[in-house]
Amino acid sequence: MNFIIDNWYLFFIAIASGGMLLVPLARGATGGSLSPASAVQLINREKAVVIDVSEPDEFAQGHIGGAKSIPLAQLEERLPQVVKNKALPLVLVCAKGSRAQRAVGVAKKLGYDNAQALAGGLKGWRDAAMPVEKS
C-alpha cells in the first residue's frame, strides 16, 4: 500500500495514457472516418453518393468511379444542386482525408446527416487495392 501512496503520480500517468489510447476509438465510433470496405458497402447497398472535394486537377489525376467533383471551396454552394436527397449517405473523399473531414462539417451543416469522410482519402482507397478512374 505504501508503494501506491508513494508513487501516486505513476498511477495517474498510467490512467491518463490509457484514456488517451481510447480517444481514437471513441472518434471512430461516431462515424468520423469510413474504411474503404465500408464505403463500398454504402455505395452498393445504400446508393451512397461519392463526392470528391479535391481540386479539379487532382480529380483528373484519379478518383473513385462514379465520384462527383465538387472542390471544397464550392461545396456549400454546389452540394444541394448535385445531391438533392439529403437522406442519401455521402462519402466525402480528397487526396489524403483532411479536406474530406472538413467537408463532413459543411455537409452536416447543410442537413446531410449521413455524410462521412473516407479514412485516408484516395490514398487509403488505393492502398486497399480499390479501383481508380482517370479523366
Structural domain tally of the chain? 2
Question: Which amino acid, residue 123?
Answer: K
The whole-chain average pLDDT of the chain stands at 89
pLDDT value of residue 11: 75
The backbone torsions φ and ψ at residue 21, rounded to the nearest 5 degrees and listed phi first, read: -70, -25
Each residue of 80-111: pLDDT tens digit? 999 999 999 999 999 998 999 999 999 999 99
No. of helices (H) and no. of strands (E), the chain: 7, 5
Indicate if the alpha-carbon torsion angle 67, 78, 108, 72 is positive or negative. Answer: positive
pLDDT value of residue 26: 55
Question: Which residues form the domain of 102?
Answer: 32-127
- For 92, the 3-state DSSP assignment is strand
Does residue 19 share a domain with residue 3?
A: yes
Does residue 39 share a domain with residue 21?
A: no
Question: Which amino acid, residue 28?
Answer: G
Residue 70 lies in a domain: yes
Contact in structure between 120 and 97 (CB atoms under 8 Å): yes
Does residue 69 share a domain with residue 23?
A: no
pLDDT value of residue 77: 96
- For 54, the 3-state DSSP assignment is coil
Does residue 115 share a domain with residue 55?
A: yes
Cβ neighbours of residue 103 under 8 Å, at least 6 residues apart? 51, 53, 72, 75, 92, 94, 115, 117
Does residue 17 share a domain with residue 53?
A: no
Does residue 39 share a domain with residue 79?
A: yes
Q: What is the pTM of this model?
A: 0.75
